[in-house]
């Protein structure tokens, strides 16, 4: 029986033969967006103008091209998002030859006169300008100065700035992100389904996006911003590098809210957590010693005054500890961590709710006073703080925080549940039900019943158009950041079909639209899909300022691992784990996993109504760990027994199943 199962699995190309500290090789590797070398060359010519000879020879470094005449230009396409320093050779120059370089993520802003914006959002879309290499040009090799780094672009336009002909060759970009890693494609995790290429592609797109946001310490955006016509990315970003920032092109600063999505992505894909530790250490080092307030963003931006982003540093501390098991680090920040929790608890008054006064947030409007989003995030802070305290250990503190969480949950429901809407309202003086608080309420388990979860999940779909949810709390905006939490809320509510619908809709749009880079993920966009994200809210109607590689938009990557494979860890490093796959009807199988310091965690499930084995679940976890396989009632149909490693148990159709397992390889087969 067992060997038949294994043969069956091998026929599906199951890859558990390879157990190592990294993901097994397979078909999924062809979806990996990361370049195979840290020196990348243009892969195509996007366009030329004026007198340009042999432009094609610059593709993949085949030869030299000549620009003749002032203003002639050629636009190179690197084939996907890249970031780093350009170098090239000046093969033939005169004393007056001069060159300008302009960079852009979106092809919309390929222009000989300006890059897309990163220093500052200006309505004219041309704040940054070009990088000039003035006469006399050096003969031979030239490299872009480090302070003029562009951290994210797909297109590079080279413009002749004089009448004299100019011959250039050997145009390349030295990738600057992930400075501590040689092989950018060597992931610690993977995800694959044979039934929908888009989902696998989205998983890898999120992983690569976070890689492009993992940067050397001294490559932050300069503050005060570089003057008009320029940019500078040579600022120091924190206490140690490499460090995780919000975006490749900009802001190039630590933003703890963004990490609420980006770090789970990092965990399931590269397991490269040091940049996260460096970012969190940076935030704790910058705590206000008097008040206990944490900054909203890292240096040199160092925005202050955000209760929610303060809270995200605390939630991020839990995520980092859960993924890494780094207790030594937790203890070094513990005094500041507890002070920072107390800062938020100090804002809870006799109403039992936090009065949000630090209003900065992910750009949403409102958010002040007794606000649902802020209090939902506080609930997550308290439940995770309670868990962290049990590891420190400080049991008194652990139970005090747990008690306050329980009380907050009750008060939250009394204050914000709007029975007529079947959703939570933003605050007590509105009937507006926001996307963020409702997603968090389900995801963080503020709901008191399954029926509330179901109604909120259904209610959220009212905001959807063809390309995603238009957030009521930030009109005319689709936020892939908040949508990343919404996906998880639909899974938590038990509707995987709806979660996949949202992933395909919004991430399918981002990867397909010719406005973007078809590799990494947009920071946000308007309800009609235009790039003018936040045009009326701080971004001065500048669509060229929008980032096309923002880790906060990578929500599906961890969601596919945590919910479609159903693989999560429930104790640091995965000493205990849970496998609760969503056997969703549009997929016949899915596989993948991740690596922690304890080893490889892998899951594959395959389903078929045509053969005897209606569901085969293959599990591989490190020796010494233990976990639970969970399938809710209704997850498996048409089976009369399930067989765990050859041992059968009777199964009533539709029954919920919970199986305790030790680490190692296991097969669970549901049979007719
Ligand atoms: C293209 O070149 C022509 C003349 O060579 C010039 O008139 C035109 O403005 C250029 N267009 C752009 C977009 O540079
Ligand atoms: C674009 O607008 C910015 C901000 O208003 C200004 O500083 C800059 O000079 C403008 N650029 C051009 C080329 O007009
Ligand atoms: C090249 O053209 C630009 C824009 O028309 C002009 O400002 C510049 O002076 C010209 N350079 C030379 C060397 O003719
Ligand atoms: C071409 O550029 C690379 C950097 O990408 C440099 O190492 C190499 O020396 C250059 N080749 C020549 C012939 O100058
Ligand atoms: C960064 O580069 C700018 C020039 O673009 C320079 O003025 C500044 O001093 C540099 N800052 C640091 C910290 O090196
Ligand atoms: C904790 O906060 C203090 C300021 O109150 C700061 O000096 C110290 O560096 C912080 N400790 C850590 C580990 O970040
Ligand atoms: C209450 O919520 C509404 C809707 O989001 C918002 O317009 C208002 O500003 C909020 N109140 C406060 C104090 O933030
Ligand atoms: C637990 O934390 C509280 C508050 O920070 C502190 O007063 C107490 O000493 C701690 N207890 C232990 C056992 O560390
Ligand atoms: C729990 O909540 C009460 C009431 O808001 C507060 O006084 C207390 O400090 C909180 N406890 C902790 C450990 O934060
Ligand atoms: C969610 O909260 C309920 C109590 O309202 C509790 O019974 C349940 O265990 C919680 N679920 C999780 C996953 O923590
Ligand atoms: C799940 O979501 C889909 C798509 O939104 C919907 O058609 C279906 O009715 C939902 N299923 C349940 C059980 O609510
Ligand atoms: C899309 O939305 C933006 C922002 O609201 C608006 O400026 C633009 O005109 C819209 N485009 C189309 C084609 O409707």
Q: What is the DSSP string of 141-172?
A: EEE--GGG-EEEEEEEEEEE-SSS-EEEEEEE
| Cα(492)–Cα(502) distance, integer angstroms | 14
| Cα(147)–Cα(142) distance, integer angstroms | 15
CA of 231 to the centre of ligand 2 (A): 13
Asked if residue 87 has its Cβ within 6 Å of ligand 5, the reply is: no
Residue 590, domain member (yes or no):
yes
- The distance of Cα 204 from the centroid of its chain, to the nearest Å, equals 11
Residue 183, domain member (yes or no):
no
Instruction: Answer yes or no: are the C-beta atoms of 212 and 152 closer than 8 Å.
Output: yes
The number of the ligand 6 atom at minimal distance from the alpha carbon of 284 is 14
| 301 and 435, same domain (yes or no) | yes
CB-CB neighbours of 143 under 10 Å: 11
| 45 and 107, same domain (yes or no) | yes
- The distance of Cα 74 from the centroid of its chain, to the nearest Å, equals 33
| Cα(238)–Cα(226) distance, integer angstroms | 19
Residue 605: both structure tokens together:
């499930």
Residues 6+ positions from 514 with CB-CB distance below 8 Å: 107
Handedness of CA 85, 86, 91, 95 (dihedral sign): negative
CATH of the domain at 663: 2.60.420.10
Per-residue confidence (pLDDT) for residue 21, from 0 to 100? 58
Which phi and psi angles does 260 have, rounded to 5°?
Answer: -60, -25
The number of the ligand 11 atom at minimal distance from the alpha carbon of 461 is 5
| Cα(587)–Cα(504) distance, integer angstroms | 13
CA of 521 to the centre of ligand 12 (A): 20
Nearest to 504 by CA among 229, 75, 199: 199
* Residue in 338, 344, 345, 353 to alter for ligand 9 test, most ligand atoms within 8 A of Cβ: 345
Which residue CA neighbors atom 2 of ligand 11 most closely? 498
CATH of the domain at 132: 2.60.120.260
CA of 363 to the centre of ligand 12 (A): 19
Which residue CA neighbors atom 14 of ligand 12 most closely? 528
Instruction: Answer yes or no: are the C-beta atoms of 269 and 557 closer than 8 Å.
Output: yes
| 577 and 507, same domain (yes or no) | no
Residue 231, domain member (yes or no):
yes
Nearest to 244 by CA among 282, 288, 206: 282
Q: Hunting for tokens 């206990």 — which residue is that?
A: 292
Asked if residue 122 has its Cβ within 6 Å of ligand 2, the reply is: yes
Which phi and psi angles does 308 have, rounded to 5°?
Answer: -75, -40
Q: How far is CA 111 from CA 75, 81, 104, 115, 502, in A?
A: 9, 18, 9, 7, 34
| 394 and 523, same domain (yes or no) | yes
Nearest to 40 by CA among 178, 163, 133, 134: 178
Residue 475: both structure tokens together:
């009109």
CATH of the domain at 344: 1.50.10.10
CA of 356 to the centre of ligand 11 (A): 35
CA of 99 to the centre of ligand 8 (A): 63
Q: What is the DSSP string of 173-217?
A: EEE-SSTT-S-TT--S-EEE-TT-HHHHHHHHHHHHHHHHTEE-T
| 280 and 393, same domain (yes or no) | yes
CA of 672 to the centre of ligand 10 (A): 33
Least distant ligand from the CA of 227: 2
Instruction: Answer yes or no: are the C-beta atoms of 104 and 153 closer than 8 Å.
Output: yes
User: 475-489 burial by CB neighbour count: b if 16+ within 10 A, else e?
Assistant: ebbbbbbbbbbbbbb
Nearest to 189 by CA among 9, 18, 21: 21
Asked if residue 232 has its Cβ within 6 Å of ligand 5, the reply is: yes
CA atoms lying within 13 Å on the CB side of residue 195: 15
Question: Which segments of 26-63 are extended strands (E)?
Answer: 39-40, 44-53
* Radius of gyration, CA atoms only, the chain: 26
| 168 and 215, same domain (yes or no) | no
| 513 and 595, same domain (yes or no) | no
Which residue CA neighbors atom 11 of ligand 5 most closely? 234
Nearest to 413 by CA among 369, 368, 444, 381: 444
CA of 411 to the centre of ligand 8 (A): 27
| 512 and 610, same domain (yes or no) | no
Domain hosting 657: range is 2-31+568-671
CA of 99 to the centre of ligand 2 (A): 22
CA of 665 to the centre of ligand 6 (A): 44
Helices (H), 270-394: 274-285, 307-324, 327-345, 372-391
Residue 236: both structure tokens together:
């120091």
| 430 and 282, same domain (yes or no) | yes
Residue 143, domain member (yes or no):
yes
CA of 342 to the centre of ligand 8 (A): 13
Identify the residues whose C-beta falls under 6 Å from ligand 9: 345, 348, 400-401, 404
Chosen domain end from 512, 541, 562:
562
Nearest to 262 by CA among 215, 306, 326, 302: 215
CB-CB neighbours of 27 under 10 Å: 12
Domain count, the chain: 3
The number of the ligand 4 atom at minimal distance from the alpha carbon of 143 is 4
| Cα(303)–Cα(297) distance, integer angstroms | 5
Per-residue confidence (pLDDT) for residue 568, from 0 to 100? 98
Helix (H, G, I), strand (E, B) or coil at 259: helix
CA of 358 to the centre of ligand 7 (A): 14
CA of 446 to the centre of ligand 6 (A): 32
Residue 591 bridge partners (DSSP): 192, 604
Residue 185, domain member (yes or no):
no
Nearest to 22 by CA among 567, 596, 573, 557: 596
Residue 341: both structure tokens together:
């929790």
| 277 and 373, same domain (yes or no) | yes
| Cα(450)–Cα(407) distance, integer angstroms | 20
Count of positions (residues) in the chain: 672
Handedness of CA 424, 427, 432, 434 (dihedral sign): negative
| 139 and 197, same domain (yes or no) | no
- Determine the Cα angle at 35 with ends 29 and 37, to 5°: 120
Asked if residue 70 has its Cβ within 6 Å of ligand 1, the reply is: no
* Residue in 71, 72, 104 to alter for ligand 1 test, most ligand atoms within 8 A of Cβ: 71
Asked if residue 331 has its Cβ within 6 Å of ligand 6, the reply is: no
Q: Hunting for tokens 């995965």 — which residue is that?
A: 574
* Burial status of residue 136 (CB atoms within 10 A of its CB: 0-12, 13-18, 19 or more): exposed
Per-residue confidence (pLDDT) for residue 12, from 0 to 100? 37
Least distant ligand from the CA of 472: 7
Residues 138-174: pLDDT tens digits? 999 999 999 999 999 999 999 999 999 999 999 999 9
Asked if residue 228 has its Cβ within 6 Å of ligand 2, the reply is: yes
How close are the terminal C-alpha atoms of the chain, in Å? Answer: 14
CA of 388 to the centre of ligand 8 (A): 13
The number of the ligand 1 atom at minimal distance from the alpha carbon of 73 is 14
Q: How far is CA 323 from CA 258, 279, 453, 573, in A?
A: 17, 15, 27, 5
Identify the residues whose C-beta falls under 6 Å from ligand 10: 445, 448
The number of the ligand 3 atom at minimal distance from the alpha carbon of 98 is 13
Helix (H, G, I), strand (E, B) or coil at 139: coil
CA of 233 to the centre of ligand 5 (A): 8
Residue 181, domain member (yes or no):
no
Q: How far is CA 14 from CA 17, 18, 19, 636, in A?
A: 8, 10, 12, 21
Chosen domain end from 508, 528, 562:
562
CA of 358 to the centre of ligand 6 (A): 21
* Residue in 144, 148, 221, 222 to alter for ligand 5 test, most ligand atoms within 8 A of Cβ: 222
| Cα(386)–Cα(400) distance, integer angstroms | 8
Which residue CA neighbors atom 5 of ligand 11 most closely? 498
Residues 6+ positions from 566 with CB-CB distance below 8 Å: 578, 579, 580, 581, 582, 603, 630
CB-CB neighbours of 144 under 10 Å: 18
The number of the ligand 6 atom at minimal distance from the alpha carbon of 289 is 5
Angle between helices 197-212 and 256-269 (to 10 degrees): 120
Residue 286, domain member (yes or no):
yes
Q: How far is CA 272 from CA 189, 400, 421, 479, in A?
A: 11, 33, 42, 26
| Cα(587)–Cα(633) distance, integer angstroms | 19
The stretches in the chain having pLDDT less than 50 are 1-20
Residue 180, domain member (yes or no):
no
Which residue CA neighbors atom 13 of ligand 2 most closely? 126
Per-residue confidence (pLDDT) for residue 610, from 0 to 100? 74
| 99 and 218, same domain (yes or no) | no
Chosen domain end from 562, 584, 605:
562
| Cα(201)–Cα(80) distance, integer angstroms | 13
């Amino acid at each position: 029986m067992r060997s038949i199962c294994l043969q069956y699995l091998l026929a599906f190309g199951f890859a558990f033969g390879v157990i190592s500290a990294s993901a097994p090789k397979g078909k999924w590797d062809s979806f990996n967006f990361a370049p195979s070398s840290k020196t990348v060359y243009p892969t195509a010519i996007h366009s030329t103008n004026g007198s340009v000879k042999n432009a094609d020879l610059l593709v993949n470094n085949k030869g030299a091209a000549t620009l003749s005449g002032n203003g002639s230009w050629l636009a190179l396409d690197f084939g996907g998002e890249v970031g780093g320093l350009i170098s090239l050779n000046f093969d033939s120059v005169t004393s007056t030859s001069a060159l300008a370089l302009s960079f852009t993520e979106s092809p919309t802003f390929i222009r000989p006169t300006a890059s897309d914006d990163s220093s500052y959002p200006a309505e004219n879309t041309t704040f940054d300008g070009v990088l000039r290499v003035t006469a006399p040009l050096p003969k031979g090799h030239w490299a872009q100065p480090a302070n003029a780094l562009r951290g994210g672009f797909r297109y590079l336009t080279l413009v002749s700035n004089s009448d004299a002909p100019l011959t250039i060759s050997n145009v390349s970009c030295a990738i600057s992100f992930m400075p501590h890693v040689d092989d950018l494609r060597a992931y610690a995790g993977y995800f694959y389904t044979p039934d929908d290429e888009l989902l696998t592609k989205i998983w890898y797109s999120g992983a690569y996006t976070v890689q492009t946001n993992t940067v050397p310490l001294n490559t932050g955006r300069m503050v005060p911003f570089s003057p008009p016509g320029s940019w500078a990315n040579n600022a120091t970003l924190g206490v140690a590098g490499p460090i995780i920032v919000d975006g490749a092109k900009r802001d190039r600063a630590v933003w703890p809210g963004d990490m609420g999505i980006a770090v789970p992505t990092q965990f399931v894909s590269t397991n490269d957590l040091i940049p996260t530790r460096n970012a969190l250490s940076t935030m704790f080092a910058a705590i206000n010693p008097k008040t206990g307030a944490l900054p909203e963003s890292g240096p040199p931006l160092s925005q202050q005054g955000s209760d929610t982003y303060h809270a995200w540093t605390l939630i991020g501390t839990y995520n980092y500890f859960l993924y890494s098991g780094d207790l030594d680090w937790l203890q070094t920040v513990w005094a500041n961590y507890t002070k920072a929790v107390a800062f938020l608890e100090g804002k809870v008054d006799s109403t039992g709710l936090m009065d949000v006064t630090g209003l900065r947030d992910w750009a949403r409007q409102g958010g002040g006073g007794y606000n649902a989003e802020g209090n939902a995030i506080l609930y997550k802070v308290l439940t995770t703080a309670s868990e962290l305290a049990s590891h420190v250990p400080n049991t008194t503190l652990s139970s005090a925080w747990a008690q306050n969480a329980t009380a907050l949950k009750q008060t939250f429901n009394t204050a914000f549940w709007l029975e007529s809407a079947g959703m939570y309202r933003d605050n007590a003086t509105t009937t507006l039900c926001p996307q963020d608080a409702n997603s968090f309420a389900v995801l963080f388990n503020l709901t008191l019943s399954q029926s509330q979860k179901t109604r909120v999940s259904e209610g959220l779909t009212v905001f959807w158009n063809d390309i995603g949810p238009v957030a009521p709390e930030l009109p005319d905006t689709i936020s892939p950041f908040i949508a990343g939490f919404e996906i998880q809320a639909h899974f938590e509510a038990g509707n995987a079909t709806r979660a996949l619908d949202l992933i395909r809709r919004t991430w399918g749009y981002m990867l397909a639209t010719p406005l973007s880079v078809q590799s990494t993920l947009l920071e946000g966009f308007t309800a009609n899909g235009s790039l003018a994200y936040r045009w009326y809210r701080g971004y001065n109607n500048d669509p060229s300022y929008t980032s096309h590689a923002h880790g906060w938009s990578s929500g599906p990557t961890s969601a596919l691992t945590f919910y479609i494979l159903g693989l999560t860890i429930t104790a640091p490093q995965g000493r205990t784990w849970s496998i609760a796959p969503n056997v969703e009807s549009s997929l016949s199988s899915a596989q993948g996993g991740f690596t922690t310091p304890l080893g490889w965690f892998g899951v594959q499930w395959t389903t078929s109504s045509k053969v005897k084995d209606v569901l085969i679940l293959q599990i591989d976890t490190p020796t010494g760990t233990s976990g639970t396989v969970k399938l809710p009632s209704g997850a498996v149909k048409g089976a009369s027994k399930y067989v765990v490693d050859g041992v059968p148990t009777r199964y009533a159709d539709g029954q919920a199943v919970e199986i305790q397992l030790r680490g190692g390889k296991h097969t669970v087969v549901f049979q007719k």
